[in-house]
Structure 1
Amino acid sequence: MESQMDKKIIKEKQMGYTMKVVLIGFFGGLIWSGIGYFSYYFHLTEVGPSFVLLPWALGDWKTGHWGQVIGIAVIAFLSVGIAFIYKWCLQKVNSMWPGIGFGALLWVLTFYFLNPFIDQLKPIQSYTFNTIITTLCLFLLYGLFIGYSIAYEYSEQNYAANNEKSV
């Protein structure tokens, strides 16, 4: 049987929920933009992770390897903010569908609403079918990863808090 001191030590070693959201966002952005670079490299999509640099960076370097790598890093850091948006809006829904919907919303925002602000990003109708499907799937999987991970951590926090109250 665990003593109260053991439970307190275990609780102190656990990472806080906010830090978990930060890590989920960062690694979600890192993993899925990395897969996006893989897709871009093998010509499954015409849009690589460096699309986030297009409005700001000057020169052709941004479409090369280092531009893609820097794009992955930028997306990883931006993804932390996106994870907090999901946390504030949908953390209580413990299902995969809100995450998939969130990913679809991000895809629509990126390719329809942000498109006019990024000159080098072509209108969605001018991309190939492979590019549209690949980017949509990447965004859906990214949203699923962020959403389900945050919902899981939220339910774990509540479960731990409820069990602690009953002891």
Structure 2
Amino acid sequence: MGFHAKHDEDFYAWAMEQAARLREAAASGTNLPLDWENLAEEIESMGRSDRREAISRLSRIIEHLLKLEHSPAEQPREAWRRSVVEQRMSLPLLLDDSPSLRAKLDGFLEDAWRQGRREALYGLERDCVFDRDLPRDCPYRVEELLDEAFWPPNRHGLA
């Protein structure tokens, strides 16, 4: 597969591969006047931005699912639902651009859980839902986070 095709089919994998090849070229002692290490870092950084975006979208889904599940408040439930739907629609688009990230989602879950739980807790404390009331470990699987039909039941009987 040519570089151009790989770039278009899986940007994350392309960026990681190109960064590694730049480092290999630098180590081989080539005399081209390029800043090899910084070029590799910049390309790698572009790939990592997709990784960060995937974690951010997962964490937003987690945050709002936790709020929907644990909040006794009637409002702003619809805004939380809308946010989950938006993230569930956007994440597959990112994964289409960088399919190799799909296999890494389970590995991203811990970071996404930590961020999403922290954000949810910040908002839920206003509703008298505290740290002790939320699970320590992520109760959701990646498949559930992406499943448009998955909505955990509210613990207070709200829809």
Determine if the TM-score, normalized by the shorter chain, exceeds 0.5.
Answer: no
What TM-score results when the alignment is normalised by the length of structure 2?
0.33
What TM-score results when the alignment is normalised by the length of structure 1?
0.32
Flag the structure with larger Rg: 2
| More helix per residue | 1
